[in-house]
Amino acid sequence: MADDRHASPPLSRRLEWALAVLFCVVTAAIVGLGFYGGQKVSAYRFQRMIAEERRTETLLGGLKHVHTAAEDMPGILAIYGLKPGQEQGLGNIAWVPPGMPAPFVGAIARPGPFANTTINGLGFRDRRTRYLPKPAKTFRVFVTGGSTAFGSGAESDGDTIAGQLETLLNRDQKPATGLSYEAVTAAIPAWSSTHERILIENRLVDLAPDRIVMFSGFNDVLWGEYLSDIDWFFTFYDQHYISLLNLVHQRAGRPPLGPVRILESAKPDCAAIAQRTRRNVTYAAFAASQVGAQLVYALQPNIFSTGKTLTPREARARNRQPEWPPRFNACYDALRAALKDIPVAGYRFVDLSRLFGEVPADRELFIDTSHFPGAGNAIVARELAKALDWRGP
């Protein structure tokens, strides 16, 4: 009987083995390429999100962020004395500063120069780097708030509300009072009164303030439109960082940290927004009073409440979301009622919401619903200078 122990397997058996090996190789290749491709896609998304920060560092990037239509660009250019074809002249006007994570408030502006702006080590838009010890015979003001207080759209650091106020007070008040005036921009785009209150309680009261101006109101209403509770939500900066961390977790094969946004089931009503704001302002006023400083809440102007006769472009911006004009006006009424009288020593409420009535009807001023250039900031600074006593603590 022939010995067939070393005979070759039948052709069908060899074909099965070859196909099995080929299947394993192809499967491994698909898994490997999938993993590599997934890594590449994740890395690409990560890089895109990092690059997205740079897009918002100039006015043009910011205007794209707020959906500026081509038909509106001539009006935007006119705000800065530019003509169609001179869009490059907008390129160095700051809109949203690069951010960095910060304790308690989520994020602050990243220190360093960018566009036409200087951010110091505390995240303030200010060329001063030290505040202590405070020079003798100095009256120091901090201006808190969101992007309008920060000066998004201002032509320079000196054209922000704080910059204009400092110039005005040193020109008009210093000769009579003998005081030097410092006004510091301590505002960050997208902040609510909750962020302002935390900054005031945890940082500003330790920097020898004489007065703190909360130039605020718009964002507390706006975040409600986005189904956010102003006492417990993520700003755009926070959402950006959480998205980055979720991508890192994805690449590591781990589940995401959590949702990028914390949403309410319905928009908070105006009374709820006003009461939350009142609580923040009350706590901030009390903290300021403990160090002998005065807190002023200045209800900021917006395109819905302004006294200005709007240009056609401004009117389009006002009416782009038809539900907003009545909503913002109702919530501003609630804010006025809630904030006009807070029983804390030194507290003042200043209603600036109806400003700009003296601006000619054909003059462009509002960039969008809440921002304006240095010309608007100068009017705000002038009204603050008129409304308050600057003779000393």
Q: pLDDT (tens digit, 9 = 90+) per residue, 136-174?
A: 999 999 999 999 999 999 999 999 999 999 999 999 999
In a shared domain, residues 40 and 116:
no
Query: For position 92, what pLDDT does the model report?
Result: 82
The CA R_g of the chain, rounded to the nearest whole Å, is: 28
Sequence-separated (6 or more) residues with CB below 8 Å from residue 75: 311, 313, 314, 364
In a shared domain, residues 89 and 230:
yes
Instruction: Give the C-alpha separation, 149 to 160, whole Å.
Output: 7
Instruction: Give the C-alpha separation, 352 to 392, whole Å.
Output: 23
Query: For position 59, what pLDDT does the model report?
Result: 58
In a shared domain, residues 266 and 132:
yes
Looking at residue 165, its amino acid is L
Scanning the structure block, which residue is given the tokens 């122990």? 5
- Strand pairing category for 138-145 and 106-109: unpaired
In a shared domain, residues 161 and 270:
yes
What share of residues in the chain are helix, strand, coil (percent, to 5)?
45, 10, 40
Contact between 106 and 61 (Cβ < 8 Å)? no
Looking at residue 42, its amino acid is S
Query: For position 33, what pLDDT does the model report?
Result: 46
In a shared domain, residues 32 and 97:
no
Listed in order, strand segments (DSSP E) in the chain are: 99-102, 106-109, 112-114, 117-119, 138-145, 180-185, 211-216, 294-299, 348-351
In a shared domain, residues 107 and 139:
yes
Sequence-separated (6 or more) residues with CB below 8 Å from residue 45: 247
In a shared domain, residues 46 and 64:
no
| Alpha carbon 343 to chain centroid, angstroms | 30
Residue 8: inside a domain, yes or no?
Answer: no
Query: For position 120, what pLDDT does the model report?
Result: 98
Enclosing domain of residue 25: 14-55
Alpha helices in 4-122 (DSSP H): 11-55, 59-65, 73-79
Q: What is the C-alpha end-to-end distance of the chain, expressed in Å?
A: 118
In a shared domain, residues 198 and 287:
yes
Residue 379: inside a domain, yes or no?
Answer: yes
- Copy the structure tokens of residue 361: 């009807």
Q: Residue 363 sits in a domain of what CATH number?
A: 3.40.50.1110
CA dihedral sign, ordered 204, 206, 208, 210: positive
Query: For position 40, what pLDDT does the model report?
Result: 52
In a shared domain, residues 112 and 40:
no
Largest CA distance in the chain: 126
In a shared domain, residues 94 and 221:
yes
In a shared domain, residues 47 and 181:
no
Domain total in the chain: 2
Residue 393: inside a domain, yes or no?
Answer: no
In a shared domain, residues 115 and 50:
no
Per-residue pLDDT of the chain (393 residues; tens, 9 = 90+): 555 555 555 656 666 666 666 666 555 555 454 445 444 555 666 667 666 655 555 555 555 545 568 899 999 999 999 999 888 888 888 888 999 999 999 999 999 998 899 999 999 999 999 999 999 999 999 999 999 999 999 999 999 999 999 999 999 999 999 999 999 999 999 999 999 999 999 999 999 999 999 999 999 999 999 999 999 999 999 988 888 888 888 888 899 888 888 999 999 999 999 999 999 999 999 999 999 999 999 999 999 999 999 999 999 999 999 999 999 999 999 999 999 999 999 999 999 999 999 999 999 999 999 999 999 999 999 999 999 999 976
Residue 237: inside a domain, yes or no?
Answer: yes
Contacts of 335-339 spanning 24+ positions with Cβ under 8 A: 335/217, 335/220, 335/221, 335/273, 335/274, 335/277, 335/299, 336/299, 337/274, 338/274, 338/275, 338/277, 338/278, 339/274, 339/277, 339/278, 339/281, 339/297, 339/299
Instruction: Give the C-alpha separation, 231 to 238, whole Å.
Output: 14
